[in-house]
Amino acid sequence: MAPPPTLRVICVTSIFPPDIGGPATYLPQICEALSARGHRVTLVTLSDSTAASDGYPFQVVRVPRRTFRPWRSLRTTVMLARLSRQADVLFVHGLALEAVLSNVVAQRPLVHKIVGDLAWERSISLGWVDDTFETFQQRRYGLRVQALKALRTWWSMRSVRIIVPSMFLTKWIARWGVPPERLIVIPNAVEVPSALTPPGLPLPPAVRIAVVGRLVPWKHVEGVLQAVAEVEMASVVIIGDGPGRQALTSLVSSLAIADRVLFAGPRSHRDTLALMSACDLFVLNSTYEGFPHVVLEAMCLGLPVIATAAGGTPELVREGENGLLVAPGDRAGLRVAIARLVDSPAERQRLAEGARRWAAQASLGAMVDQTESVLRDAARLGGRGE
């Protein structure tokens, strides 16, 4: 029997290393794995630096992020239209509008990985709404928000397949009007290096809590800081940056906990993992998550996890087995959970062992197999999407 044909894949994303975040963790792994299986992968990304010395076994095309946005979008669309003509399938993780517009010309099957709702994230960031993810899906708003929702639905409907990391997201994306048969659940999986050396930073004393991600409103890092202010033996290492950095810095000063908080800033993926490994537990206080990649990384590192029972997180964190769950917005519950683990090394150890066992079940090979199968299926279907 002849081996299955190789694919020419164009991956599209708005973040890629040295950026941090779920796609920036996922894409190097999946693209390297696909390349190792003989597929020809080209990745197009926004980037603060257009340096070509990436060292990946696939081509990386970097578009300057700081370019005037309308010009950047036009340039990216034209570039994708040109590159996609030589592709068998587009694999989209960001820049969805540019990818779909370019595909009007290229007419290639498009697979979209959706890990959230960009319409909600943009509306929150611009201050247009302050509703939760679930409420946003069910309410009608003014013209500009409804237009953003319609645009998100339009580009989603142009995918022949949509990969989602959780059942939680499947339910809501189906409500956008996407046919359920196009939605494929493939949980995230990660691998972490065995030897990690934390960068030479003055880590705070006491029991260290790792907080990782973009400093945006729905991550509610302020709630972690407020809880730590009431737990004397706790300290925090915050890895990442974002629009909320200045407000958080001011809060640390007002709480008088500057000696127990380290703002590590944006870090490479390896440095992020190394800093996490130097901590004693991991906290995610978000009011929304599709399927938090970073929680799985924390588990791989053997960190006990405290997380809010929001979005797809309860599909990953099992109360009392590999971590602790608190209700979103429950500040008292978060403080109690942090105090519980800070005060009990034995409990941290028990949950850490459960976390390692759980993470070991998340096979990177299985994730690659399933993703490759979806891409092949999409290439076979072309643009029909049945």
Question: Does some domain include residue 197?
Answer: no
Same domain, 157 and 281: no
DSSP 27-89: HHHHHHHHHHTT-EEEEEEEES--------SSEEEEEETTS-HHHHHHHHHHHHHHHHTT-SE
**Cα dihedral 208, 213, 215, 219 in deg (nearest 10):** -90
Q: Which residue has the tokens 């870090």?
A: 267
Residue 63: beta bridge partners? Answer: 46
Same domain, 169 and 288: no
Question: Does some domain include residue 194?
Answer: no
> Which stretches of 85-158 are DSSP H helices?
96-106, 118-125, 133-138, 143-157
Residues 103, 110 contacting (CB under 8 angstroms): yes
Q: Tens-of-pLDDT digits for all 386 residues of the chain?
A: 555 779 999 999 998 988 877 788 889 999 999 999 999 999 999 988 766 557 899 999 999 988 778 889 999 999 999 999 889 999 999 999 999 999 998 899 999 999 999 999 999 989 999 998 999 999 999 999 999 999 999 999 999 999 999 999 999 999 999 999 999 999 888 878 777 887 778 888 889 999 998 898 889 999 999 999 999 999 999 999 989 999 999 999 999 999 999 999 988 888 899 999 999 999 999 988 888 889 999 999 999 999 999 988 998 899 989 999 999 989 999 999 999 999 999 999 999 999 988 888 877 888 999 999 999 999 987 654 44
Q: How many domains does the chain have?
A: 2
Same domain, 36 and 90: yes
Same domain, 247 and 113: no
Query: How far apart (Å, rounded) are the C-alpha atoms in residues 266 and 24?
Result: 12
Range of the structural domain that residue 68 is part of: 8-189+363-381
Same domain, 25 and 172: yes
Same domain, 263 and 216: yes
CATH of the domain at 93: 3.40.50.2000
CB count within 10 Å of CB 228 equals: 29
CB count within 10 Å of CB 224 equals: 25
Same domain, 346 and 371: no
Same domain, 12 and 46: yes
CA-wise closest residue to 192 among 85, 100, 76, 270: 270
